[in-house]
Amino acid sequence: MTDMTTTTVAQAAPVLTATGVTMRFGGLTAVRSVDLDVHPGEIVGLIGPNGAGKTTFFNCLTGLYVPTEGRVAYRGTVLPPKPHLVTQAGIARTFQNIRLFANMTVLENVLVGRHTRTKEGLWSALLRGPGFKRAEAASKARAMELLEFTGLAAKADHLSRNLPYGEQRKLEIARALASDPGLLLLDEPTAGMNPQETRATEELVFAIRDTGTAVLVIEHDMRFIFNLCDRVAVLVQGEKLVEGSSDVVQSDERVIAAYLGTPFEGEPGAEEAAAVEAAEARTEEDGQ
């Protein structure tokens, strides 16, 4: 059964194809020649130590940055380097730091996220012009559906700034979903969450995938990533070090070394690390 699912996913044309993506800032190469595909129905994880280039890579996918080299295509069409056009094409994202309209209600935040799918556009939505009013009923119904889906319907009329942290993050996801994306990019969705909130986010991402939206997620919480993802890519110093199933990535020694900073046996520094550990153990024994 698992094999069949894997085969089906692998054969479907990718929603996202990133090819040779490189991003340089002056002399610093933050992302170096990274290839990554995401297929329909997949949840793909992007992990790596701090400063590995994960967010920079996301920014290249969403038109925030124009990659120095390489190309990014959504369903086979190269994306224009403009965030709103990327959203219109079908890629939505959330940010590492919450970016909600704090003084708007929960429902209004989702309606703003809907503007790429209504011909009235953002200003009409904000100013509530006549065109917006005509489209409002349909948009509102869809927004309420998304609030039900994310468990926020009861708070539709609350100001978003009054929501607890975990619900603000859910609202960001609901707003991203309002553009009906084929691919959702999540940048550290569980940062700052307690274990219950993290678990709820995991359930939400599975539910999103089940509605047909593929997901690419950056996260430092390894348990979350390995539970969630069909495939995980590891970036280290801007390069893709390893890519594979959670099992393969978890047990890859290069990943363990790069991510956790664990020295390999025989690696320079391993002897010193062992000596420090032994000295620490002796100190603990002496102290008892």
Binding of residue 109 to ligand ATP (CB under 6 A):
no
Binding of residue 52 to ligand ATP (CB under 6 A):
yes
Taking only Cα atoms into account, the Rg of the chain, rounded to an integer number of angstroms, comes to 21
Whole-angstrom distance, CA of residue 47 vs CA of residue 217: 8
Residue (49 or 263) nearer to ligand ATP, CB: 49
What DSSP assignment string belongs to 185-240? EEESTTTT--HHHHHHHHHHHHHHHHTT-EEEEE-S-HHHHHHH-SEEEEEETTEE
Binding of residue 86 to ligand ATP (CB under 6 A):
no
Q: For the window 18-37, what string marks contact with ligand ATP as x by the rule CB under 6 A?
A: -------x--x-x-------
We find the least distance from the C-beta atom of residue 20 to ligand ATP, in angstroms, to be 17
Give the number of other CB atoms < 10 A from CB of residue 218.
22
Out of 3, 11, 27, 50, name the contact with ligand ATP by CB under 6 A. 50
Angle formed at CA 179 by CA 65 and CA 98, multiple of 5 degrees: 60
Cβ within 8 Å of residue 83, ≥6 positions away: 62, 63, 64
245 φ/ψ angles, rounded to the nearest 5 degrees: -70, 165
We find the least distance from the C-beta atom of residue 72 to ligand ATP, in angstroms, to be 16
Whole-angstrom distance, CA of residue 141 vs CA of residue 230: 32
We find the least distance from the C-beta atom of residue 51 to ligand ATP, in angstroms, to be 4
Where does this chain touch ligand ATP (CB under 6 A) — which range of 52-60, 77-85, 223-231, 242-250?
52-60
We find the least distance from the C-beta atom of residue 7 to ligand ATP, in angstroms, to be 32
Length of the chain: 288
Whole-angstrom distance, CA of residue 165 vs CA of residue 78: 36
We find the least distance from the C-beta atom of residue 31 to ligand ATP, in angstroms, to be 7
Q: For the window 56-85, what string marks contact with ligand ATP as x by the rule CB under 6 A?
A: x-----------------------------
53 φ/ψ angles, rounded to the nearest 5 degrees: 110, 10
Binding of residue 214 to ligand ATP (CB under 6 A):
no
Number of shown-chain residues binding ligand ATP (CB under 6 A): 11
Out of 45, 48, 63, 113, name the contact with ligand ATP by CB under 6 A. 48
Out of 51, 80, 129, 192, name the contact with ligand ATP by CB under 6 A. 51
Residues that bind ligand ATP (CB under 6 A): 25, 28, 30, 48, 50-56
